[in-house]
Amino acid sequence: MTRFSVLDLVPVREGGTLPEAFAAATDLARAAERAGCKRFWVAEHHAMEGIAGGATSVVLAHIGNATSTIRIGSGGIMLPNHTPFQIAEQFGTLDALFPGRVDLGLGRAPGAGPELQRALRKNLHQAAEHFPQDVLELRALLTGDVELPIAATPGLGAKVELWMLGSSLFGAGLAAKLGLPYAFAAHFAPDHLDAALELYRRDFQPSEALERPHVMVAMNVFCASSSSEARLLASSQQQSFVRLRTGNPGRLPPPVENYTDTLPAPARAMLDHIGQAAAVGTPREVREGIQAFIARTRADEIMLCGATYEPEARLASLELTMEALETVDAA
């Protein structure tokens, strides 16, 4: 049975505030828990006015206190921005606070310009080259599978579920070699989706953590009572994608009717390309879109993404989606 989860970037909307963004994330996590979602993940981004998840472990602690059963985790922690020891302490703390509920998704992309590198006091591109070794060190700090000269406290012995994240063949290959579950970020970078999943499944080596390949794929989903309303809801995130790709990121803008009709051909093509990992429409249309995506990817889990300007609209979209997906589970 395919399981469903939620990824939240903790968007800050135009005219909104940080406290409102965190409150909306809490409401969304509670709604995901009520709807039967398996996980609620928060993504790490830095120095972006429209995304409030930079202090990811702190946000997860807030989400964990507001929920009781849903798994909470990072989708992901960009390990080059940190040291393995720091992340072991942070997620060891989360595991102690919320035992049996914590996921640690790891990504390699530094995603930073020179200003952020200076602020973090790190050579992020060099750190990215050491990513495989840092993953092994982090795993050892948590599991003790390799004896290290220092122990993370909290950290050592924490029952944190490690995931490898990626949007390229590199992450797929590393996840396969280490025997970790693999999550593919198709919601913004679908180019290598099919090849990465094939590589991961073909080369997977069983580990103490995982006996067989386990795949999760992220996709954008906007569900409403009518197709036109769903497209309107999606237009806020579409605007954010276009602004980001054209070097003008900002806060999440209000929706715009027929937004894609106003765009030049290259921008429309970019959104169409991302749209191959999306389902936008009525509950029936969304269900059919997700079913087709599962058939394509054979994913064990689907991560539902998609920010709306009005937080209430995202809650309604999630509820409609999960109700529609009950028939997918039955199938």
Q: Kindly report, residue by residue over 130-147, the tens digit of the pLDDT.
A: 999 999 999 999 999 999
Angle at 321 between CA 319 and CA 325, to 5 degrees: 120
Distance, in Å, from the CA atom of 72 to the CA atom of 93, rounded to the nearest integer, reads 13
SS3 assignment, position 252: strand
Cβ count near 76 (within 10 Å)? 26
| Residue 38: per-residue pLDDT | 98
Mean pLDDT calculated for residue range 3-20 = 97
**What mean pLDDT is reported for the chain?**
95
Query: 143 versus 120: which is more confidently predicted?
Result: 143
pLDDT tier for residue 120 given thresholds of 50, 70 and 90: confident
Q: Return the closest-CA partner of residue 11 out of 36, 57, 48, 38.
A: 48
Mean pLDDT calculated for residue range 109-138 = 85
Among the residues of 48-192, which ranges form H helices?
A: 56-66, 84-97, 114-120, 124-129, 131-143, 169-178
pLDDT tier for residue 125 given thresholds of 50, 70 and 90: confident
Query: Which amino acid, one-letter code, is at 170?
Result: F
Q: What percent of the chain has pLDDT over 90?
A: 90
| Residue 329: per-residue pLDDT | 54
CB 74 within 8 A of CB 42: yes
| Residue 47: per-residue pLDDT | 86
Distance, in Å, from the CA atom of 300 to the CA atom of 214, rounded to the nearest integer, reads 6
Distance, in Å, from the CA atom of 196 to the CA atom of 186, rounded to the nearest integer, reads 11
CB 67 within 8 A of CB 8: no
Specify the pTM: 0.95
**Which phi and psi angles does 158 have, rounded to 5°?**
-65, 140
- Per residue in 150-202, pLDDT tens? 999 999 999 999 999 999 999 999 999 999 999 999 999 999 999 999 999 99
| Residue 249: per-residue pLDDT | 92
Distance, in Å, from the CA atom of 249 to the CA atom of 239, rounded to the nearest integer, reads 9
Mean pLDDT calculated for residue range 84-101 = 98
Looking at the predicted structure, is the pLDDT value of residue 330 above 60?
no
Looking at the predicted structure, is the pLDDT value of residue 300 above 90?
yes
pLDDT tier for residue 117 given thresholds of 50, 70 and 90: confident
Distance (Å) of CA 51 to CA 30, 48, 124, 264, 311:
20, 6, 20, 26, 14
Query: Which amino acid, one-letter code, is at 322?
Result: M
Distance, in Å, from the CA atom of 142 to the CA atom of 140, rounded to the nearest integer, reads 5
Which stretch of 50-54, 112-116, 164-168, 322-326 has the lowest confidence by average pLDDT? 112-116
| Residue 331: per-residue pLDDT | 45
218 beta partners: 303
Looking only at the bridges linking them, the beta strands covering 182-184 and 161-166 are parallel
- Per residue in 241-268, pLDDT tens? 999 999 899 999 999 999 999 999 999 9
Distance, in Å, from the CA atom of 218 to the CA atom of 186, rounded to the nearest integer, reads 5
Mean pLDDT calculated for residue range 76-94 = 96
Distance, in Å, from the CA atom of 25 to the CA atom of 20, rounded to the nearest integer, reads 9
**Which phi and psi angles does 62 have, rounded to 5°?**
-65, -45
